[in-house]
Amino acid sequence: MMSPERPPIGLTLGSTAKVVSRAFDEALAVAGGSLPVWLTLLSVKTRKLANQRKIAAGIGIQGATLTHHLNGMEAEGLLVRRRHPTNRRTHQVELTEAGEALFVRLLEAAIAFDKRLRAGLGEGEIADLDRLLAKLRANVGEPG
């Protein structure tokens, strides 16, 4: 039963997630990017010669949304798309030099933001948080 003194955990978690997400978006913007750009660059960087379907799945977005992001990023000179040599229906995506440079800036911003989030937390508290968040995901039917 919910206590009148304590708000529902979903409300607290949701509002905390919004505050943290907004702060992360701001940190990425200062570094010259955004969350969709960061996730796309990260996915391309960690999947050499990745195709669009694998990138979309890795980020957790629909193919059409990814295409929109890739179009903008390609226009900005951050990446290139090439037809796969043996399957002309798919594109391989690679970072350009400018994309690599932005990746490094956003990586530095993400690392700094992570340090900011961890400030004042001990390793045990971080482990507890990871465990509790995994339980919450499991409680709503998502894998840990």
Tell me the CATH number at 48: 1.10.10.10
- Domain hosting residue 37, numbered range: 17-139
pLDDT over threshold 90, residue 38 = yes
Separation between Cα atoms, residue 121 and residue 2, nearest integer Å: 27
pLDDT digits (tens, 9 = 90+) for 42-56: 998 887 656 778 888
Structure tokens at 80: 């290139």
Give the pLDDT band (50/70/90) at residue 23: very high
**In a domain? residue 3:** no
**In a domain? residue 62:** yes
Tell me how crowded residue 118 is: count the other CB atoms within 10 A of its CB.
13
Domain count, the chain: 1
**In a domain? residue 1:** no
**Taking the complete model, does pTM exceed 0.85, yes or no?**
no
